[in-house]
Each structure stands twice: as structure tokens, then as C-alpha cells.
Amino acid sequence: MEVTIWFWVLFNLFVLGMLALDLGVFHREAHEISLREAGIWSVAWVSLAMVFNVGIYLLWGSRPALEFLTGYLIEKSLSMDNVFVFVMIFSYFAVPKAYQHRVLFWGILGALVMRAALIGAGSYLVKQFQWVLLIFGVFLIYTGIKMARQKSHGVDPERNPLVRLLKRVMPVTDGFRGAKFFVRENGRRFATPLLVVLVMVEASDLMFAIDSVPAIFAVTQEPFLVYTSNVFAILGLRSLYFLLAGVIDRFRYLKLGLSALLVFVGIKMLLIEWYKIPIGISLGAIAGILTVSIVASLLATRRDERRGGEISESVSRIEPRALLRQQAGQDAHAATT
């Protein structure tokens, strides 16, 4: 691929324009994001990514387009794990739903900067030292196995070094002050709990970026494709959160699916020196892993709901009989006395 500096400039101007439109026009006032609004934005971001993919196909051909699509699917899938953590963070701090979008907006803006830095460093290392891919592969397999064995995401702000540093540098108010991150009270400048939440979101995304960014290098080492697929996945993360936050517990096997995805990508990376798995097979395998984990989760949830309904129905049938027997016993006792 011959990617001139203008492609980079135009793409980043597009991203900045979309972010400005998002916060400055559509979400100028803090409000609770409805399921319908989240669905519309999710479709919009995915559609923009697919239009961009068509542009890659027209400019550079089918292989780069498939690499972008596979990388986007990997990053989009792994970003779903962020949703679990975001739900726990917002629940832990009891963040009002009207303020959650603002936190995620600035959190994702910071995430874009961190991803760009990590991708730049990763691209340089891969270009200079091809054996780095083997280290990435081992790391991804280890991460996948660890994810499968991990029972739940722990959220402990008091143990987070960034949160502890923030509280040492600046006092924190005892409650939220609307959608503000900073306030001035009694002549002193305070941080609000919303800033603490933002720091937690940034820290969690940094940890996820360390896992997800190396994964895409198994698909392509083209920096422009690595960067753009990451950016599109991150831009759609806010709407994905509001779309799935209320039903994320239904996807019980998603974590296993994501862990299998990481292990598959890690193995692909380890084999890259001897055998390059065709991009079409990689795309099909990744899509298949995700589909199986999601379908299995939904079927298990439906089975549990059906069993719960059957138990409730059985209890409702038994209770009247028990009451009748109890009443009969009371009547018999009254008759003998």
C-alpha cells in the first residue's frame, strides 16, 4: 500500500470532525442515552467503517480491504470486554446515566491518543525486529488463557495508582457537581468524582489496548490499516456500551469466545514465519468464534429463563394446595378442641 501523508491528515480531520459533531451538536446537553439513540449511533459507526472499507477496496484492492475488515472485527470484538468494565465502574461510583456519555467521550478521546502511540511503537518494533511478532503471539495466548480463567473483572479504585496520585495532587469533592470534572469552592480547586471515574476508564482502556493492539499485527503490519481499524472500533465503543449495558449479563460465554479469539490470533502470529494463514480463513474463524459464543450465551439465557418460569409455575400450583391442607388441619384442630 502506498499511503501518502494526506490520507493520514484527511482521516484524522474526519475523526476530529465527527467527535466535534458528536459532543458539540448531538450531545451538547447532558442527557440519558436511550436504547434507540444508542442503536442509531451504533449503526452509523459500523456503516461508516464499512464505507471506509469500500474505499480501501477501490483504492488498494481486495487484500487490504479484507485485512481492514478482519482487524476491525478483532478490535470491535475485544472492545466488548471494555463494556463489562465500564458497567462495573459506573455502578461502583453510582454515576448518573446523564453523565456517562461525557465520561466516555473524553475517555475515548484519550484512548485514541494512547492507541496511536502504541500502534506507532508496535509498527516500529515489528518493522525493525520481526521476531517481536513471536513475543506478541506468546503474550496473546497467555492473555487469552488468563481471560478464560478469570471469573470477573475487579474494580478497586483505591488500588489504582493513577487514582491515588490524583487524590494526592488535588482534593476530591464528596459528591458529583453535575457533569463537571473540576469545580472551585471556597477559593480552592477541587476534582469531582466524575474525574476519578474518567481516570479509571482511561486506565482500563490502556490495559485493554495492551492486549488488543498486538492482536491486529497478526492480520496486517500496514500502519494505516492497523490505526484506522482501531479508531473505528473505538469510535463506536460509546454507543456499543449504551446498547449492551443493560443486557451484558446475558452474554455469559462471550468472555470465553474472546479468550479463544486471542489464542487463535496468538497461534497465527507464532506460525507467521512458517505458514501464513490466509486472511479469508482468519476472518471466517474469528466470525465463527464470536457467533458461537454469542448464540450459546443467548440459548443458555433462554434455557435458564424457561426453567425459572417452570419453577415459578410449579410453586404457584403447590402453594394453594399447601394452604388448603393447612386450613384443613386448622379446622380439624378446632373441631377436636
Enter the pTM of the model: 0.78
Q: How many CB atoms are located within 10 Å of the residue 188 CB?
A: 9
Phi, psi of 94 (to 5 degrees): 50, 50
pLDDT along the chain (337 residues), means of 10: 86 86 64 79 90 94 91 85 80 84 84 85 81 84 83 65 80 84 87 88 80 81 90 86 75 83 86 80 85 87 74 56 58 55
**Sign of the CA dihedral with 310 first, then 316, 322, and 324 last:** negative
**In 3-state terms, what secondary structure has residue 177?**
coil
Say if residues 122 and 223 touch (Cβ distance below 8 Å).
no
**152 secondary structure, DSSP code:** S
- What CA–CA distance (Å, rounded) separates 211 from 142? 10
**In 3-state terms, what secondary structure has residue 119?**
helix
Q: Give the pLDDT score at 214.
A: 82
- The grid coordinates listed for 100 are 456517562
Say if residues 190 and 172 touch (Cβ distance below 8 Å).
yes
Residue with cell 439465557: 301
- What CA–CA distance (Å, rounded) separates 14 from 52? 11
Between the CA of residue 175 and those of 90, 100, 192, 201, 243, what are the distances in Å? 14, 15, 7, 18, 27
Q: Give the pLDDT score at 252.
A: 78
Which residue ranges make up each domain of the chain?
11-336
Largest CA distance in the chain: 100
Q: Give the pLDDT score at 278.
A: 83
